[in-house]
Amino acid sequence: MATPVVRQFGGARRRLIEELQAKGISDLAVLRAFDEVPRHAFVPSGVRHRAYEDAPLPIGHGQTISQPWVHARYLELLGLTGRERVLEIGTGSGFQTALLSRLAAQVFSIERIPALAQEAQAALAECGITSVVQRVGDGSLGWPEFAPYDAILVGAASPEVPRPLVEQLAIGGQLLVPIGGREEQVLVRVRRTEAGQERTSLDAMRFVPLIGTHGFED
């Protein structure tokens, strides 16, 4: 990813990586992805000077780019090896999409708001990332045409685990989704097994709502 945009903000990016390490992120592949993907390319120009704070930032249309630690936590939990087919629900800024493109073989991403999907596509292209398959739609329904997925990440809060997403997991695959109310949620990991599924509740989270058939009402 040797485009000029990657070379900017190098010092700030390294300080963010040290902060993530201090907060418990130790997966070297994940930390390397944070070094290779310029977060400042995925935020509006008005907040670009804050791009390497470990904080969520507004990206317009009432949405946010998630806190870097949250992205790192998701990616560390998935433990990707580079061979996986991954589905992301809620492209948003496209930053996590870009991180995923460094860590998995194939990345599919769905965003509900057309303008955000377009802006994310432009940022990905600016970083030289052309391999991601994107579409606009209701991600709570998944993307059955390309299933099964080794990993599905939901970057928005849902009142319950969306059934189609579990059905679109490969056996052994895992889904990460924040479950709860509109204000506060718990990150839930669902593993698909031969016998059915296993659910584990992990960290407390605060995400914008997943709006759709298997999410919240608009």
Mind telling me the catalytic residues?
66
* Closest to 32 measured CA to CA, from 21, 43, 22: 21
* Of the residues 33, 40, 52, 66, which one makes contact with ligand SAM according to CB under 6 A: 66
Asked if 98 is part of the footprint of ligand SAM (rule: CB under 6 A), the reply reads: no
Q: Which residues face 58 on adjacent strands?
A: 64
Please state the closest distance from residue 196 (CB atom) to ligand SAM, in A: 25
Question: What's the token pair of residue 113?
Answer: 């708001």
Site string for ligand SAM, 141-180 (x = CB under 6 A): --------------xx------------------------
Q: Which residues face 107 on adjacent strands?
A: 86
DSSP state of 208: P
17/113 with CB nearer ligand SAM: 113
Asked if 205 is part of the footprint of ligand SAM (rule: CB under 6 A), the reply reads: no
Residue found under tokens 């969306």:
162
Which range, of 1-9, 21-29, 61-69, 176-184, touches ligand SAM by CB under 6 A? 61-69
Question: What's the token pair of residue 77?
Answer: 């939990």
Residue type, 133: V
Which range, of 6-14, 92-100, 176-184, 189-197, touches ligand SAM by CB under 6 A? 92-100
Distance CA 162, CA 141 (A): 8
* Of the residues 33, 63, 127, 168, which one makes contact with ligand SAM according to CB under 6 A: 63
Contact positions with ligand SAM (CB under 6 A) in 101-140: 110-113, 116, 138-140
* Of the residues 65, 86, 152, 205, which one makes contact with ligand SAM according to CB under 6 A: 65
Please state the closest distance from residue 139 (CB atom) to ligand SAM, in A: 3
Tell me the CA distances in angstroms from 91 to 18, 26, 49, 140, one per residue in order: 26, 25, 22, 13
173/212 with CB nearer ligand SAM: 212
DSSP state of 213: T
Contacts of 96 (CB under 8 A, 6+ apart): 66, 71, 74, 75, 88, 153, 155
* Of the residues 38, 92, 142, 178, which one makes contact with ligand SAM according to CB under 6 A: 92
Contact 51, 40 (CB under 8 A): yes
Q: Return the number of other C-beta atoms located less than 10 Å from residue 130's C-beta.
A: 9
Binding site for ligand SAM (CB under 6 A): 63-66, 89-90, 92-93, 95-96, 110-113, 116, 138-140, 155-156, 207-208, 210-212, 215
